[in-house]
Amino acid sequence: MSRARGDRAVIARRAAVNGLMIAFAFTLPYHVLRTAAACGVRVYVLGNGASRGLRMSRYCRAYRESRFDGEAERLLAEIRELVALHAIDVIFPSDDVSTRLLATLRDRLPIRCTPIPAVADFDLLNDKWNFTRFCLNHGVRVPQGWLFDDVAGLRQALDSGEVRLPITVKPLNRSGGIGVFHVRDPGEIGLIDAVDYCPILVQRHIGGETIGISVLCERGRILAHATQRRDAVRFQLFANPDLLDNVGRLAALIGYTGPANFDAVLADEDGLSYIVECNPRFWYTIYLSMIAGLNFVDLALTGPSGLAGETATLDSGEVRLSCWNTVTRPWRASRFDWRFVFYDLSDPIVYMMQRAKSYDDSDVAVPVAQMTACDRTDPSAASRTTRASNRPLGQFAPLQRAPGEAP
């Protein structure tokens, strides 16, 4: 692995490139837009819904309201029109919905697209239940899991002792922690009454530190990666070979292409990393990695040929997430802290919109019913796990480990 050289990804300016970003949400696409603009892309946006807020960014070259209502052919016609009108050089997605749509259209797009997963791979990883089953059946370390049709089924399993605390409850297709509840003791069981979705994924809750890893892959090979931890105070990059190996095994098994972000837990009990879920697309903290010196959009635009066979990564770097602390205590601030301040204040209208929570895009997600392109689980194991109260995958069989991996 090679360390990213200096701040190349932050200060690099490529030859003028016109990019068309497809967006249906606001918060995540905004950071993808900014990360693309940082490497010299003139970003045009095609979208609707909450993404309308992107019009207010000084980094948005132009915004086109899409008439897309679920019909991919309509979106394709609009893409072709804008490519001709603005001399677009590259197309890229920015959220769950746009990533899957471009995956379905990529063989028919009029120009190149940044690396994106195949539809089957997106569905496998984005559906948290299919993802959990696949990992448990192929020796990728994840928490034990169950799936229930509704809250009543989950409560019955808890009452019977079939499922025991601590657990984490989550929807199959949302991101950003939306709809996630941690039930660690009997006093917290009432939290599941707030569940407003179905089916319900339940995972064994693993005590430990929440971490994550972001990757850019090409046919199962990791081209770039960054492992991170984040809290209300700071964002930090660090190295964790165990998590990288765990994710690398999964990427190789699938032959994955495109960007992805994995949430994980560094377990207190054994010190190993357990992947909790995957977002097979660009991710919210992509701008923080860019501020620290690794621009994943830049690398996606460059492609494998531009990396000369090397793996781009950063194994250290820290950004304080408080403009106020940086401004009032400048003697404690690093250059990354000042970049974070500039990032926010250089686009003041959107900064204020975000603080006011002007746009709610919490419901922007690929419907569970659409994610049917792939179910690559072991049929014999899948038959032992129903959507209600049979025993979960991984309950009796020990987790498979790679040769030489620590127990």
Residue range 62-79: mean pLDDT, rounded: 95
pLDDT at 3: 45
Question: What contacts 124, CB < 8 A, 6 or more positions away?
Answer: 130, 131, 134, 254, 374, 375, 376
219-233, 301-315, 382-396 — most confident range: 219-233
Question: Is 307's pLDDT higher than 90?
Answer: no
pLDDT at 10: 39
Residue range 62-88: mean pLDDT, rounded: 96
Tokens for 406, please give them.
């620590």
**What is the pLDDT of the chain when averaged over all its residues?**
86
Task: Please tell me which residue, 113 or 373, carries the higher pLDDT value.
Answer: 113
CA dist., res. 53 & res. 90, Å (int): 22
Angle, helix 72-86 to helix 96-105, in steps of 10 degrees: 90
Question: How many whole angstroms from its chain centre is CA 243?
Answer: 16
Are the C-beta atoms of 260 and 124 separated by less than 8 Å? no
Give the model confidence (pLDDT) of 111-155 as tens digits: 999 999 999 999 999 999 999 999 999 999 999 999 999 999 999
Are the C-beta atoms of 198 and 188 separated by less than 8 Å? no
Question: Is 157's pLDDT higher than 70?
Answer: yes
Give the model confidence (pLDDT) of 200-209 as tens digits: 999 999 999 9
Amino acid at 380: S
Percent of the chain scoring above 70 in pLDDT = 86
pLDDT at 357: 86
Question: How many whole angstroms from its chain centre is CA 102?
Answer: 16
Question: Is 248's pLDDT higher than 60?
Answer: yes
Give the model confidence (pLDDT) of 274-299 as tens digits: 999 999 999 999 999 999 999 999 99
pLDDT at 380: 40
Tokens for 74, please give them.
């309509």
Residue range 105-116: mean pLDDT, rounded: 96
Q: How confident is the model at residue 391 (pLDDT cuts 50, 70, 90)?
A: very low
Residue range 343-359: mean pLDDT, rounded: 92
Q: How confident is the model at residue 363 (pLDDT cuts 50, 70, 90)?
A: confident
CA-closest candidate to residue 204, choices 141, 290, 250: 141
The DSSP string of 219-245 is TTEEEEEEEEEE-SSEEEEE--HHHHH
Task: Please tell me which residue, 357 or 219, carries the higher pLDDT value.
Answer: 219
Question: Is 392's pLDDT higher than 50?
Answer: no
pLDDT at 99: 97
Are the C-beta atoms of 132 and 145 separated by less than 8 Å? yes
pLDDT at 16: 80
Give the model confidence (pLDDT) of 130-139 as tens digits: 999 999 999 9
CA-closest candidate to residue 197, choices 163, 149, 145, 129: 149
